[in-house]
Structure 1
């Protein structure tokens, strides 16, 4: 599924960036270092005027990587 040209705007909450923040926070907590109690990326609106310049690394996983589903332990 690619980007559709007829989309006028789309809010982006930077899912990949959120995952990176979560991992960084988890490491800081485990290392008993100071960490932000609240951290989140800025929600940006993508449209035809800024899509070409947008860093898709905030939104999409690196090439060749994909989500892997795992069962959680009971």
Structure 2
């Protein structure tokens, strides 16, 4: 599974949403269910399932699913 698909799957699971309805341009600004509690759940699930460590600042700085995916892919590449 590609990283982008996994990120969408994790977010969809936390937000109880259909992955097919999520796009890389979406984010906390236009997903009502993406509140502070679910943001922390998304962060911890991403860290656990993708074996990356994101600081709260890094996570809070991304505004879209696509930007989050890009950040994670870069972290994986850099090891």
- What TM-score results when the alignment is normalised by the length of structure 1? 0.26
Q: Highest Rg: 1 or 2?
A: 1
* More helix per residue: 2
Structure with greater proportional strand content:
1
